[in-house]
Copies of this chain bind each other. A is one copy, B any other.
């Protein structure tokens, strides 16, 4: 079932879309500002995000940036502003499509079908990754052996696992998992990397998959 996150500050629109999408057997989550949108995206893991640019707290383009920091979920932008520059900014920030209000609900549905159709083969690619004796499923958010991870642990692990073999800088990890204001709190990294190792590594004291690169960052070695 396709999961849709709708972000808009008009209750009417939210309601209309929720009803229409639910009637077509989409699973729907709602958010009415940028902050809750980012939180919802992390928890709900939608297959597509419908995002209004005119939000009360954060600029919509910033929300796109925030999402693109850690996910490639398709984003369809809504906006009342018909100006072309808005479209260009949103698309270049990483949005996949742009619809100007007022729009026909059928057209939005068609665009949702279009972006999810393109993204769906991506979904079938292996999201199961082995770490030692454990198997991690990023899509289902499960780890074999009855291991459970907290939300923060998931975000951190996902960031590493999505770039196998690549060095992820401390700065990148901190800003993408905790936020832009935490770029220097390397303490958190040590704390949570230790927890991940305890839960995933065969011998947590001698990690072979979650590798430290002193002074630079961490790396997931498959």
Chain A residues with a Cβ under 8 A of chain B: 72, 74, 84-85, 87-88, 91-92, 94-98, 104, 106-107, 109-111, 113-115, 117-119, 121, 139-142, 148, 150-151, 154, 163, 165-167, 213-216, 219
Q: Tell me the complex Cα distance, A114–B107, Å.
A: 19
Is there an interface contact between A142 and B118, defined as CB atoms closer than 8 Å? no
- Nearest residue in B to A98 (C-beta to C-beta)? B111
Q: How far is the CB of A212 from chain B (nearest CB, A)?
A: 11
27 cross-chain CB contacts under 8 A: A72-B118, A74-B118, A84-B104, A85-B106, A87-B110, A88-B107, A88-B109, A91-B110, A91-B113, A91-B114, A92-B110, A92-B113, A92-B114, A96-B114, A96-B115, A96-B118, A118-B119, A140-B163, A140-B166, A142-B165, A142-B166, A142-B167, A148-B213, A150-B215, A151-B214, A151-B215, A154-B216
